[in-house]
Structure 1
Amino acid sequence: MANKLEYKDLLDAGVHFGHLTRKWDPRMAPYIFMEKNGIHIIDLNKTLECLEKASFALKNIVRSGRKVLFVATKKQAQDIVAEEAKRLNMPFVTERWLGGMMTNFATIRKSLKKMSSIDKLMKDEAYLNLAKRERLMISREKEKLERVLGGIADLNRLPAALFVIDVKREHIAVKEAQKLNIPVFAMVDTNSDPNGVDFVIPANDDAFKSISLITSHIGKVIEEGLAERKKDKDEASQQKEEEAKKAVDTAEEAK
């Protein structure tokens, strides 16, 4: 398992700071340790416990060869999440969640194909022969599509799980995942509803350090799952080779 996060790591990153008590969601009560100066303090022992469960489940999903979609459209999380998802070659949405991105995936795939065909067109010589205005319109359309769909360009089927930062903000994504029985792993703050999230990670989802620490840990877990999948495939391939060799030897002996 990826290096386990310690209580002190979470404390240093401010993972324990919740929202003002008047902004809380009572459904988060089981994850709250206390109130201090009008702010709810998250129980970090619960965070560590939840993180361990989430890590185990996520690792198994990745090991089976399926994709995890990272979702974070809030400003302080966009770069962290996009960077980690790109590093792991996982799909991500950091600009805007389009309604129906998963529940109406067939339409989204059409847009992805359109983006791909525009890309091919722009590399073609015929593109240079177009009028300047036409070229400008095409490049603008490509930019628009890439901004919203660039992170899922290689996604040819629905993801096996979602990793979400701020379920309150990304409630549409969470609802779509629920409809499709896609498990949701999420950082959930004290002002959010944890219902509908399969693997709640109670944590401060506003602070840069907190988002960075949790996302980085999830990234390491996914990386481990990918490494184990590669190992499994190599072992299976080696076994096949040995079996084929045995079969050849047996056939030669039979002659």
Structure 2
Amino acid sequence: MAKAEVKELLEAGVHFGHLTRKWDPNMAPYVYMERNGIHIINLYKTAAKIEEAGAALSKIAASGRKILFVATKKQAKDIVAEKAGNINMPYITERWPGGMLTNFVTIRKAVKKMAAIDRMKKDGTFESLSKKERLQVDRQRAKLEKNLGSITDMTRLPGALFVVDIKREHIAIKEAQKLNIPIFAMVDTNSDPRQVDYVIPANDDASKSIEKILSHVTDAVANGLQERKADKEASKPTPKKAAVKKAASEEEE
């Protein structure tokens, strides 16, 4: 993973916090100064926290667990969908489905319903329905796809949550806390960092800032996935290794 440079973070506007009157005092350790009524985030701390979060996320990915990305705000949705999609990780960019984590069994049932509709379309059952029924099924499928389409491969609870804007995604945060799922997040100066296990102090409103942080985070996850793949390849028995093993066992006999 390429190290986060303060200069590139500065150029992306990662340092711009909120108005000083809107700040959360618990963010004080990450605030560098105040300028024109706005808090400026200490980018040296941001760079260090990106590295720390990246190392932890890489380990989770290498262990084979999924990382669920959550961002429903307008300026983050497309970035998160693209970046998480590129590394084949699940994401929620529409409304957070209540009980997504705490009532995961029900959510999985909804995902299975989507798969059942797809099977109906393949095996011809769909065509035997009336026009009205087909319309209803199509609407149901579209609604499920919109809300849950990006988590179809998530067959068990995620190994971690990555959140953009913890104030907005407070329900997701609460559910993860309840289940002791590690929370990684971009945290702006108006939020309480104590709710998060791995804080990345950053401007969570500007798309440039979000894209910059997500690039580093998803690179770290990709590294973990690559490591997992390499380990799997290394543990595969090659024809030569298999022959040596066979010869050794024959000798023992």
Bin for the TM-score computed over the shorter chain: over 0.9
1:180 and 2:186 equivalent?
A: no
The amino acid that maps onto 1:250 is A
1:197-212 residue pairs with structure 2 within 5 A?
A: 197-212=196-211
Distance 1:113 1:190, change over 3 A: same
Distance in 2 between residues matched to 1:19 and 1:199, nearest whole Å: 20
Distance 1:239 1:195, change over 3 A: farther
Match of residue 223 from structure 1: 222
Paired residue total: 253
Q: Contact 2:16–2:40 at 8 Å: present in 1 too?
A: yes
What secondary structure is seen at the aligned counterpart in 2 of 1:195? helix
The amino acid that maps onto 1:54 is A
Partner deviation per Cα, 1:125-179 (whole Å, 9 max, x = no partner):
2312322211111100111111111111111100000111000000111111111
Q: Post-superposition shift, 1:247?
A: 3.0
Distance in 2 between residues matched to 1:204 and 1:46, nearest whole Å: 13
Distance in 2 between residues matched to 1:37 and 1:140, nearest whole Å: 50
Distance in 1 between residues matched to 2:238 and 2:127, nearest whole Å: 53
1:56-205 residue pairs with structure 2 within 5 A?
A: 56-205=55-204
Q: Post-superposition shift, 1:18?
A: 0.3
The amino acid that maps onto 2:140 is E
Distance in 2 between residues matched to 1:129 and 1:31, nearest whole Å: 62
1:27-46 residue pairs with structure 2 within 5 A?
A: 27-46=26-45
Distance in 1 between residues matched to 2:61 and 2:209, nearest whole Å: 24
Distance in 1 between residues matched to 2:75 and 2:239, nearest whole Å: 48
Distance 1:241 1:232, change over 3 A: farther
Percent of counterpart pairs with the same letter?
A: 61
Distance in 2 between residues matched to 1:158 and 1:8, nearest whole Å: 37
**Which consecutive unaligned segments of at least 5 residues does structure 1 have?**
none
Q: Contact 2:50–2:216 at 8 Å: present in 1 too?
A: no
1:250 and 2:248 equivalent?
A: yes
Q: Post-superposition shift, 1:240?
A: 9.9
Q: Post-superposition shift, 1:228?
A: 0.6
Partner deviation per Cα, 1:39-67 (whole Å, 9 max, x = no partner):
00000011011111101111111111111
Q: Post-superposition shift, 1:195?
A: 1.2
Distance in 1 between residues matched to 2:31 and 2:71, nearest whole Å: 23
